[in-house]
Amino acid sequence: MERIVVLGAGESGNGAAILAKKEGFDVFVSDFGAIKEQYKAELKAHDIAFEEQGHSKEQILNADLIIKSPGIPEKAGIIKEIRAKGIELISEIEWAYRYKGDSKIIAITGSNGKSTTTSLIYHILKQNGMHVALVGNIGYSFAKQIAEAPAEWYVAEISSFQLDDIKTFRPDIALILNITPDHLDRYEYSFDKYAAAKFKIADNQTNEDLIILNQEDEATQQYLEQHTINPRTIYITMSDQLHNNQDGAYMNNDEMHIKWDGDDMKTTVHDLALKGKHNQFNSMAAGISARAAGIRKEKIRDCFETFDGLEHRLEYVATVRGVDFINDSKGTNLNSVWFALESMNKPVVLILGGQDKGNNYNEIMELVQEKVKAIVCMGIDNSPIHKAFDGVVSQIVDTASAKDAVNACYALADKGDVVLLSPGCASFDLFKNYEDRGTQFKEAVKSL
């Protein structure tokens, strides 16, 4: 019996192990850290052998195939030993792809907007009666979904980390929403290598497949100047550059056009449930994907109006004495903060801070000067924020908990203002993750 080792026992690793067990392989799971109780219980329920708090090399290096969780970097010692021994190493999405049967895949990657676009595509397909599952970085792991509840369509949010170790993974419809600097520590601090990792989504596509790209994205255009890709390519643009018979999507003033097979679907931005220019782009990306998947334009329009958006992504929490509170805890980089501020049309009290990833706050300086009346820092080390904005924003306050941050914002805000949690940083200095940060923020707002 072929022996399969899975490195990492989170959602991705456990899903890979469960699929391998179902397919009759000898499976062993190894996690360098502690395994969460829910995942241990899952492995035990499927009678899968595992270890935690370290890797047993003799148990790992005798594998026929190793499936790596996306969080494990190439520089990890065990990965170097696997490479040296020549054992095949793949990602969980590659493993899942090998068992997907005749199903179709819409795969979405990009630095920002992935979760919203993925969720909106899923919403459109599901509302129109398609047998569809939401997988990848959002929802179930792709492999676990295939093992436990296979579908005819998979809408998958895919990170560059997941694409790093694919061999045959080939989506029918791929989207690269944008490419801005993020996670560069995983790519030798090379933006070109990071961009190439995103474009791996198209590596195995043929001219029968479709890729949807951002016409305004500089890194995308630079990559295409230097490389040829196989799939049929169509574009989304916030301008009216596609104002012809070409398939794609574009904006013309407040009217959105989604063209497919020469048929122009028009809708006004005022009818979109998702607000902000970035969400107009996300809606165009979802709309053209749904048209390519065979959904009628009238049905897409209806879904644009009914989609609620995501928790922790520009999520309206409450209005307290005329002050709106918005939870954008998922905004863990400055590009996300830029989009969040761009969509605000009231004076903003902004909550920034957390585990800084080497942010260059000049990226949001112009919008901060235009829209932000006060900044409330929420982190252990707030010095980078002070260095950037002292003298730019008249009031900057330091806090070290969600409750203190919300109270400080409430004291600084006037009726008609908005308090925006869009930290631009990772959450691990004070919180378990961005969900925990957003949840604590919402609880603090509700206790006002």
Are 24 and 45 in contact by the 8 Å Cβ rule? The answer is no
Distance CA 15, CA 409 (A): 41
Which pLDDT tens digit goes with each residue over 49-85? 999 999 999 999 999 999 999 889 888 999 999 999 9
Are 40 and 50 in contact by the 8 Å Cβ rule? The answer is yes
Task: Indicate if the pLDDT at residue 98 is higher than 70.
Answer: yes
Q: Tell which residue, 40, 30, 36, has the closest CA to residue 8.
A: 30
Query: What confidence category does residue 243 fall into, taking pLDDT thresholds of 50, 70 and 90?
Result: low
Query: What confidence category does residue 8 fall into, taking pLDDT thresholds of 50, 70 and 90?
Result: very high
Q: Please tell me what DSSP assigns to residue 131.
A: -
Which pLDDT tens digit goes with each residue over 414-430? 999 999 999 999 888 89
The mean pLDDT value for 234-245 works out to 77
Q: Tell which residue, 271, 22, 310, has the closest CA to residue 147.
A: 22
**pLDDT value at residue 217:** 92
Residues 6+ apart with CB under 8 A from 25: 1, 2, 3, 4
Are 283 and 254 in contact by the 8 Å Cβ rule? The answer is no
From the CB of residue 261, how many other CB atoms can be counted at a distance below 10 Å? 7
Q: Please tell me what DSSP assigns to residue 173.
A: E
The mean pLDDT value for 243-254 works out to 82
Which pLDDT tens digit goes with each residue over 148-185? 999 999 999 999 899 999 999 999 999 999 988 766 66
Q: Tell which residue, 235, 237, 171, has the closest CA to residue 208.
A: 171
- Which structural domains are found in the chain, ordered by start? 3-86 (3.40.50.720), 95-306 (3.40.1190.10), 315-446 (3.90.190.20)
Tell me which residue has tokens 């097979």: 261
Distance CA 89, CA 79 (A): 9
Are 46 and 18 in contact by the 8 Å Cβ rule? The answer is yes
**pLDDT value at residue 245:** 66
Question: Residue 263: is it exposed, middle or buried by C-beta count within 10 angstroms (0-12/13-18/19+)?
Answer: exposed
State the pTM of this model. Answer: 0.81
Tokens found for residue 74: 């190439």
Q: Tell which residue, 148, 168, 322, 127, has the closest CA to residue 135.
A: 148
Distance CA 73, CA 77 (A): 9
Query: What percent of the chain lies above the pLDDT cut of 90?
Result: 77
Residues 6+ apart with CB under 8 A from 54: 32
337-342-344 Cα angle (round to 5): 100
Give the up-direction half-sphere exposure of residue 328: CA atoms within 13 A in the CB hemisphere. Answer: 32
Distance CA 53, CA 34 (A): 5
Q: Which residues of 197-231 are buried (b: 16+ CB within 10 A; e: fewer)?
A: bbbbbbbbbeeebbbbbbbebebbeebeeeeebeb
Q: From residue 156, how far is each of 135, 233, 284, 289 by CA, in Å? A: 5, 19, 17, 12
